[in-house]
Copies of this chain bind each other. A is one copy, B any other.
Amino acid sequence: MLEFAILGFLFDSRLHGWELRTRIAALTGHVRPIADGTLYPTIKRLADADLVLKNIEAGSIAAPRHMLEISPAGEAKLLHMLREPAEVFITDENHWYCLLAFLRHLEDPAAQAAVLRRRLVFLETPASFFYDGDKPLRAEDVDDPFRRGVLQVARATSRAELAWLKATIAELEAQAGRETVRN
C-alpha cells in the first residue's frame, strides 16, 4: 500500500522523502497517518530493489535531501499493480481510493475500465455486515440504531459509487472503441 503510493507519486515527478511524506499524509493521512519510521525503511527497500533511484543533493534549506526518482523497473511494477491489482485493492476502501488516485497512469482506457469493472462486480455481489443465519440484513431489518447507521451509510456510499462507476466505465469503453476503430 505504502510502496504503491510511493511509486505512484514518483511516477509523476522526482521528489525527496519529506515531500513524499506530506503528499502521502494528504492522500491517506486524515484516515490513517503514516509514520516516517515506516516511510524511510520502505524507501530504502525500494531503492535496494532498484525500483527507485536515490541522488543525494545539497539541501537548499536544511539537511541534504535524497532526491528520489522512479526507475524503469519501478514504473513497470507500478503499471503491473495498476493493471492487475491484488484483491485487497479492490475490496478495501483505503486501498481502492489509493489505486484510483493513480489509475490515470495506466494509459489504456480499456485496461482502466477493466479495473473499474472488478470493483463493480465486488459492489454488486450482495453482502451485508450483519446476517440472520444466511440472510443478509438490510437497514430496515435492524433495530439497533448504530447498526442501522452502518447499513444506511454503506448503502448511500454504494449507490454513489455505482453511479459513478457505471458512467465512467461507459465513457472509457466508448473511448476505447474509438481508439480501436482509429487503428
**Which residues of A are at the interface with B, using a C-beta cutoff of 8 A?**
26-28, 30-32, 88, 91-94, 97, 100-101, 103-104, 112, 125, 127-131, 144-147, 149-150, 152-154, 156-157, 159-161, 164-165, 168, 171
Contact = CB atoms under 8 A, between A and B. Distances in A.
Given A100-B146, A149-B100, A129 B161 contact: no
Contacts of A27: 129-130
A145 B152 CA distance: 26
Copies, count: 2
A97 B129 contact: yes
Contacts of A125: 30
Contact of A92 (B31, B128, B153): B31
Contact of A26 (B31, B100, B130): B130
B26 A128 contact: yes
26 contacts: A26-B129, A26-B130, A27-B129, A30-B91, A31-B91, A31-B92, A32-B91, A92-B94, A93-B93, A93-B94, A97-B129, A97-B150, A97-B154, A100-B146, A100-B150, A101-B129, A101-B146, A104-B145, A112-B146, A145-B168, A152-B160, A152-B164, A153-B157, A153-B160, A153-B164, A156-B161
Contacts of A130: 26-27, 101
Nearest to A30: B127
